[in-house]
Amino acid sequence: MRKKGIAILGSTGSIGTQALDVIAQHREKYSVELLTANRNSELLIKQAIEFDANTVIICDKSKYKEVNDALSPHDIKVFAGIESVQEAVCAESIDTVLTAMVGFSGLRPTVAAIKAGKTIALANKETLVAAGEIISRMCIEHRTPVIPVDSEHSAIFQSLQGEYNPIEKILLTASGGPFLHSSEEEIRQAGIEDVLKHPRWKMGAKVTVDSASMMNKGLEMIEARWLFNTDPSKIEIIVHPQSVIHSMVQFEDGSIIAQMSHPDMRIPIQYGIAYPERPALNTKRLDFNELGKMTFEKPDTGRFPAIEIAYGCIRKGGNMPCIMNAANEAAVAAFLNGKIKFHAIPEIISSAIGKAHFLEHPDLEDIFGTHEEVYRKTASCLGMHNI
Ligand code: MN
């Protein structure tokens, strides 16, 4: 049988490395066609050799020579620059593109992959937050299947297999992050190390900060709105600190279907790549006796205003979610660079929303323009110069 050709955009990040761990368990099923990395040349080189990649792209052009020299004895094609990604994802040998780059930068390559008719294993939620309506339309037009990799959305997708009945409600679960039961004062005092200490999931820095502010759940609500064509009023966020139920779907007869597992991103990553198959995977199995109990609570929108901001933006529509996402990306970068306090993030987003130019029916170029402008203005406001 022909192997499925996989492209991993963002192969050196948390999702990318775990995806390669999944592929290493099923080398007979998959061939690694394309790996891209932002600047981690050392790991990219190692991955390319280990998985005998067809092509690699290092986005940071200053590292091209290093990567090319290291890979020249291996018959692996090497390119540099993010522009090369758009062309490379269209290669004939690629079946599935795993979009695992961080933030808005994933949008252009995702658009290229959709137009090339590749199956998208979507791990870049910001793409759907910023341009959900446009991307959804584009996927229908090009008949592109999108398989969610975000654990909650994978759970919803899995809960919908074989269903054609209407969704009454999506129950989007949230771990609540490291500050779930912290006081406002503790959140105010939180330093970078407190924010990056996520209790359940091992993830990249951007999504870990988003989890702590609960903006991640706001982004995921918008992601779910587009993936499952569901009105935001039918998406309810439920805090479930054990992260065992990864999300649920409620139907009109009152039945609720959930997907559960020990929290391990390799499960939704593999489902995204292997769908509709479920190959064996050596993850820890859920032990209900050890778990003992599962708890649920309502998110506190007072301490975590990001959730309400996200509902407000998606209700308003147009380029509003893009504005919110751009301001959040700039604020998170500023926080990780020590320029602002953690609790300032939602205030910065609200202020950017108040100032930005609203477009009711943006096209793709408007979305790029909005992101660029809001990111630049927010970042320069926060004293970030080298962007
Ligand atoms: Mn998630």
- pLDDT per position as a tens digit, 28-58: 999 999 999 999 999 999 999 999 999 999 9
- For residue 69, the CA-to-ligand 1 centroid distance in Å is 37
Question: Once rounded to an integer, what is the mean pLDDT over residues 90-97?
Answer: 97
Residue 145: pLDDT band with limits 50, 70, 90: very high
pLDDT digits (tens, 9 = 90+) for 304-363: 999 999 999 999 999 999 999 999 999 999 999 999 999 999 999 999 999 999 999 999
Between β-strands 167-174 and 245-251, what pairing exists: parallel, antiparallel or unpaired? antiparallel
- CB-based contact 89:7 (threshold 8 Å): yes
- For residue 123, the CA-to-ligand 1 centroid distance in Å is 9
- Predicted confidence at residue 355, as pLDDT, reads 93
Residue 74: pLDDT band with limits 50, 70, 90: very high
Indicate the average pLDDT of the chain. 96
Calpha distance 318→90 (Å, rounded): 29
- CB-based contact 209:196 (threshold 8 Å): yes
- For residue 268, the CA-to-ligand 1 centroid distance in Å is 10
Percent of the chain with pLDDT over 70: 99
- Predicted confidence at residue 202, as pLDDT, reads 72
- For residue 195, the CA-to-ligand 1 centroid distance in Å is 17
Number of H helices, E strands in the chain: 17, 11
- For residue 79, the CA-to-ligand 1 centroid distance in Å is 31
pLDDT digits (tens, 9 = 90+) for 154-168: 999 999 999 999 999
pLDDT above 90 for 200? no
- Predicted confidence at residue 185, as pLDDT, reads 92
- For residue 371, the CA-to-ligand 1 centroid distance in Å is 22
Residue among 190, 164, 213 at smallest CA distance from 350: 213
Between β-strands 30-37 and 55-58, what pairing exists: parallel, antiparallel or unpaired? parallel
Residue 386: pLDDT band with limits 50, 70, 90: low
Residue 302 C-beta-side C-alpha neighbours within 13 Å: 5
- For residue 42, the CA-to-ligand 1 centroid distance in Å is 28
- For residue 207, the CA-to-ligand 1 centroid distance in Å is 8
Residue among 360, 353, 341 at smallest CA distance from 378: 353
Burial 201-221 (b: 16+ CB within 10 A, else e): bebebbbbbbbbbbbbbbbbb
Calpha distance 20→269 (Å, rounded): 10
Question: Once rounded to an integer, what is the mean pLDDT over residues 355-373?
Answer: 97
Q: Return the H-helix or E-strand segment holding 119.
A: strand 119-122
Read off the pTM: 0.96
Burial 8-32 (b: 16+ CB within 10 A, else e): bbbbbbbbbbbbbebbeebeebbbb
Question: Once rounded to an integer, what is the mean pLDDT over residues 80-106?
Answer: 96
- Predicted confidence at residue 175, as pLDDT, reads 95
- For residue 150, the CA-to-ligand 1 centroid distance in Å is 5
- For residue 212, the CA-to-ligand 1 centroid distance in Å is 12
- For residue 65, the CA-to-ligand 1 centroid distance in Å is 36
- Predicted confidence at residue 273, as pLDDT, reads 98
Calpha distance 347→158 (Å, rounded): 36
